[in-house]
Structure 1
Amino acid sequence: METKSFFMEISEKNLVNNINYLKEKYKKSILPVIKANAYGHGIELVAKALYKNGYKEFSVARLNEALKILKNEELKECKILVFETIDQSYFSYIKNYDSIIVTANSFRELKNLVANGISSKQIQLKIDFGFGRNGIEISDILKLKSYIVDKNLEFSGIYSHLYATDFNEGKEIIDRFSEIVLFLGKENFQMIHIQNSIGILFYGTQDFMTHMRSGIFIYGLQEEGFFHEGLKQVFQLKGKVAGIKDIKDSKYLAYTLKDDLSNEDYKNIVKIKIGYGDGFLKCNEKSMCIINKKPYKILSVTMDNTFIAGDNSICEGDEVILYPDTNLIRNSTGMHICEVLPLINDRIERILK
């Protein structure tokens, strides 16, 4: 069999469909989140696809993610918001690189950014309502207001994060954020956003927002209870059957005792070339895959190979699809889809369909 027997196929059509669907439904611009290797879909590939289709504003978690995108000459004109604090050693570099928008995650950070010559139009403020991760604290809002007035500052944007799972608590955070934006001067911010994907679903359009910040929904990653009918899954993790073995006379299947498998028929053990060395973890054992449009149980995952309980209809070279239904991933693996896909590493090639 060929070396690249597994790959992740990324549908440009579905990716663009999802952003357009959200944009049209809520009448707001969408700020795509492409951190963590675009949630496992391939950050450079996704950035190129979005840019090609007219989306030139992205958000990432870390500076190195932004730099990875900007290595591509085609993407030099995009704007990339970096969520996490950027070390001062990079300030001189960023001053000459206006594609990168930095976040002030505290009042002290904001003053330090401005004091080091970074234009406020290259800064977004993050407000913390108790998430405990980062952001300007509510106790600093009065000082922040005075600082903005004294320095006559205008910013790239202002945002916060909806961390609450309780609907009413989330609504309260949105209302408090709105009050702070108005207090600081809405006209001072080019971009205003707080809603992540679940926030979009729960709270819909907010008039004072300019953007909705979406990660999982632009990739069509959904679970039961958090579902939009107009969104389509962007990825397919697919490959081919690398071999079929009869292990009825063997004691083991790879490192697993055959007696532990609770399977009566060992004549058609299917091998595929993906394993935990590729980021396809052992927690996928006992979950289902699809071969020739039929479901089959995954029996054992090793570093480089995975073994499936097949039948005599399967042949070498037949197509295999892993994670065919994202709704089932939490039940079968114990992991959220956002944990699963970023683990799939660069041994598995991403291919734009």
Structure 2
Amino acid sequence: METKSFVMEILEKNLINNIEYLKEKYEKSILPVIKANAYGHGIEIIAKALYRNGYKEFSVARLKEATKILENKDLNGCKILVFESIDQKDFSYIKDCDSIILTANSFQELVAMIDNGISSGKIQLKIDFGFGRNGIDILEISKLKSYIIKKNLKFNGIYSHLYATDFKEGKELLNEFNKIVLFLGKDRFQMIHMQNSVGILLYRTQKLMTHMRSGIFIYGLQEEGFFHEGLKQVFQLKGKVAGIRDLEKSKYLAYSLKSDLNNINYKNIVKIKIGYGDGFLKCNENTFCTINKKSYKILHVTMDNTFIVGDESIRDGDEVILYPDITLVRKNTGMHICEILPLINERIERVLKSQGTEN
């Protein structure tokens, strides 16, 4: 690792705390969502941490994400639900892989899976209520029931997605989903789930559901209005001060004219080794980081380096934390934290911290 480079620390204790908190509060099993590189936290690290703490069922968006997890041979016996549709050329691989659970995103996909010898016990049905992404059309539910009865099918699960955050509309969707499950026969499904993280908070325990499907909450990613006091931030983006410069008499800061940066004090400009080449975007300019637990303004982001307005107390090698308070990310950058973190790329190493916790 380069001197004073940045890492993303993953706090295992906080991850498990969040799942246990949700599980105990709502008295439902949690199906962790670890798609998009575990929302930027590192899919392999998160899968490993979940597995060794007894959580062996998780979900991803794409088959490629599932196969990446399964490269770790120590995760034998895990079950991975893949949300998106799978090309039929991969069916032979799926049939031989006990860990992967497919989603039938249309009636035609379900028929193709069954006709190609994939057991219904390796399939979850997704119902589409007009979200516009994936799912079996609700107009085909009667046809679906007839097919299920004819083939005597029992599935790994059934689910849908809450696209509405309007409380009344979301409640109506949940009621419609419950009716469909009962119509098809709830005993035909091992797993029944619809609530994502916001749905967990808004609608709490739903009797028919066996699981709650949580992405952002298991990582402690929260915003005002959708806040759980019991959740803890799982990541820390940490590095070291990699130099301090007095640029009072300089015309430039990196490639930019100081006059364009609209700052007054250039006496203690702090450099750190992260930039938009690492996925730390320029929208972070004029936001704040912490150095030695004190807040400082981020002035300028370049491809490989970021510059901070410091003071006389900062020393070379002091610890720097970026995104110290995730609840402020949208306010400060205009972007959701789910957009910010997955962009932090492989140049920033993810490191699992198994001992201790951070608040």
Question: Smaller-chain TM-score range?
Answer: over 0.9
Equivalent residues, number: 353
Return the letter of the residue paired with 2:190.
Q
* Structure-1 separation of matches of 2:252 and 2:106: 57
Once the two structures are superposed, the pairs formed by residues 20-59 of structure 1 within 5 Å of their partners are 20-59=20-59
Structure 1 residue 61, shift from structure 2 partner: 0.2
Once the two structures are superposed, the pairs formed by residues 116-131 of structure 1 within 5 Å of their partners are 116-131=116-131
Return the letter of the residue paired with 2:83.
F
What is the TM-score normalised by the length of structure 2?
Answer: 0.97
SS at match of 1:165: coil
Match in the other structure for 2:135: 135
* Structure-2 separation of matches of 1:2 and 1:183: 59
SS at match of 1:86: coil
Aligned-residue RMSD, C-alpha = 0.9
Return the letter of the residue paired with 1:26.
Y
Once the two structures are superposed, the pairs formed by residues 257-268 of structure 1 within 5 Å of their partners are 257-268=257-268
Match in the other structure for 1:156: 156
Match in the other structure for 1:115: 115
* Structure-1 separation of matches of 2:113 and 2:283: 44
* Structure-1 separation of matches of 2:129 and 2:3: 50
Structure 1 residue 292, shift from structure 2 partner: 0.7
* Structure-1 separation of matches of 2:159 and 2:33: 14
Segments ≥4 residues shifted beyond 6 Å: none
Match in the other structure for 2:213: 213
Give the unaligned 5+ runs of structure 1.
Answer: none
Return the letter of the residue paired with 1:147.
Y
Matched, 1:71 2:71: yes
SS at match of 1:222: coil
Deviations 1:249-306 (A, max 9, x none): 2111112210122322211100000000000000000000000111000011001000
SS at match of 2:66: helix
* Structure-1 separation of matches of 2:139 and 2:255: 57
Match in the other structure for 2:347: 347
Return the letter of the residue paired with 1:141.
I
* Structure-1 separation of matches of 2:91 and 2:263: 60
* Structure-2 separation of matches of 1:3 and 1:244: 15
* Structure-1 separation of matches of 2:162 and 2:5: 40
Return the letter of the residue paired with 1:227.
F
Deviations 1:21-63 (A, max 9, x none): 0000011000000000000000000000010000000000000
SS at match of 2:162: coil
Deviations 1:90-137 (A, max 9, x none): 000100001000000000000001001100000000000010111000
Match in the other structure for 2:356: none
Deviations 1:142-197 (A, max 9, x none): 00000000000000000000000210000000000000000000000000000000
SS at match of 1:263: coil
Return the letter of the residue paired with 1:304.
D
Structure 1 residue 76, shift from structure 2 partner: 2.1
Once the two structures are superposed, the pairs formed by residues 216-227 of structure 1 within 5 Å of their partners are 216-227=216-227
- Give aligned-pair identity as a percent: 78
* Structure-2 separation of matches of 1:76 and 1:114: 25
SS at match of 2:8: strand
What is the TM-score normalised by the length of structure 1?
Answer: 0.99
Structure 1 residue 80, shift from structure 2 partner: 0.1
